[in-house]
Amino acid sequence: MLLIHALFTLLLLLVTVLPLTRLSHWFVRGMDFPRLQFTIFAIVLLLSHFLFLDSQKLSTFILITVTILCLAWQLWWILPYTRLWPKEVKTARHNSPENQLSIITSNVLTPNRNAEALIALVKRHQPDVLVTLESDQWWQDMLDTLSEEMPYAIKCPRDNLYGMHVYSRLPLSDETICYLVEEDVPSMHALLTLRSGDSVRVHFLHPAPPSPTENDKSIQRDAELAIVAKSIADSHQAIIVTGDLNDVAWSDTTRLFRKISGLLDPRVGRGIFNTFHADYFFIRWPLDHLFHSSHFTLQTIQRLPSIGSDHFPLLAKLCYSPSKKNDQEAIQSNNDEHQWAQQLADEQKVRKEDVPQPGESIKTN
């Protein structure tokens, strides 16, 4: 019994320590994803230590101590995405329609042909912007039925699981489709005009994941996030970044993105909002994200029902509230993190200047 507990404790220690190495191999970076599952495993293992081992033995004390430390470390990453944590983004107090902005972000899964389900969600929730990932020409043909009510669009149909589309009720300008790191993985960048006349710089991303079937390492994904973050860091514009980042909310690299960019995460203090995997409740984690500058407060954020994809759509309703800027603070970065971000960019030979900055010359609040 002691040997079995020791082996399970060693396994827990391994999956807890591996991500600390910053190694970019897909297996190591994959340990960032199931932190919630690791937390549950640690709790069950700790209870088992107390129930089945002799508490008077030194070996039991060591196993309990290691398990508690691993549990505490996993909780440190997860707790910010619970209601136990202070909200990073304030709840909107004023809901004037001209300052509202609602966005549905949905990875549709290219082989999925249930476009009617997504269109029904759009009809029901009436978002200002719909962002789709993995959308090919078939999906474009289906979603073009929204063009009358959402006449502004950016379209990049692809059949390699990296197609992207944006449909908007609000005007889009300075639209650019870029291939920032990989030649077959696009991103979209534009300036969106609110009903109030204020402008918002928007970035739509879907970097490739680290996996045995995609990229052996996470460096391509990490470099794209790093240069977008660096391009945002010195801007005073209202900014939104959304998409399937193929990274979890609590990873080192997503945290690096938040620190370098200075953007806020409306999920902090509200919930995890797991969007993947839609079919298997026991392997779910938050892969689809929306980050924004301190110009916005939050009306609501919610995971929407399944549309037949392996991802749930994510709906966020924001309120443009520039007067609240000084009341909301992003997590701070340090020199080591700036050097890490630069190292990621240098390794892929990309620069922050490669990222479009639509509307940067426009005077902002």
Q: Residue 362: what pLDDT? A: 58
Q: Residue 275: what pLDDT? A: 98
Could you give the C-alpha distances from 136 to 96, 161, 185, 215, 287, in angstroms and in order? 36, 8, 13, 21, 20
Q: Residue 357: what pLDDT? A: 95
Residue 187 shares a structural domain with residue 308 = yes
Q: Residue 55: what pLDDT? A: 87
Measured distance CA(160)–CA(156) in Å, rounded: 11
> Is residue 205 classed as helix, strand or coil in its secondary structure?
strand
How many Cα atoms sit within 13 Å of 274 on the Cβ side?
A: 18
Residue 151 shares a structural domain with residue 221 = yes
The answer to whether residues 207 and 225 touch, using CB atoms and an 8 Å cutoff, is: yes
Residue 179 shares a structural domain with residue 257 = yes
CATH value at residue 187: 3.60.10.10
Q: Is residue 360 part of a domain?
A: no
Q: Residue 96: what pLDDT? A: 87
User: Considering the chain, what percentage of its residues have pLDDT values greater than 70?
Assistant: 98
Domain of residue 74, residue span: 2-81
For the stretch 225-271, pLDDT in tens is 999 999 999 899 999 999 999 999 999 999 999 999 999 999 999 99
Q: Residue 196: what pLDDT? A: 96
For the stretch 258-269, pLDDT in tens is 999 999 999 999
Q: Is residue 88 part of a domain?
A: no
> Is residue 208 classed as helix, strand or coil in its secondary structure?
coil
Backbone φ and ψ of 286, nearest 5°:
-85, 100
- Residue at a domain's end among 50, 81, 112: 81
- pTM (two decimals): 0.95
Low-confidence ranges of the chain (pLDDT < 50): 364-365
Any idea what DSSP says for residue 99?
A: G
Q: How many domains are there within the chain?
A: 2
Those residues with Cβ within 8 angstroms of residue 323's Cβ, 6 or more apart along the chain or in another chain: none
Q: Residue 361: what pLDDT? A: 67
| Residue in 359, 103, 76, 75 with CA at minimum distance from that of residue 238 | 359
Residue 151 shares a structural domain with residue 19 = no
For the stretch 111-121, pLDDT in tens is 999 999 999 99
Any idea what DSSP says for residue 163?
A: -
Q: Residue 365: what pLDDT? A: 43
Q: Residue 326: what pLDDT? A: 67
| Residue in 275, 285, 263 with CA at minimum distance from that of residue 315 | 275
Residue 218 shares a structural domain with residue 102 = yes
Q: Residue 1: what pLDDT? A: 87
Residue 130 shares a structural domain with residue 217 = yes
Q: Is residue 50 part of a domain?
A: yes
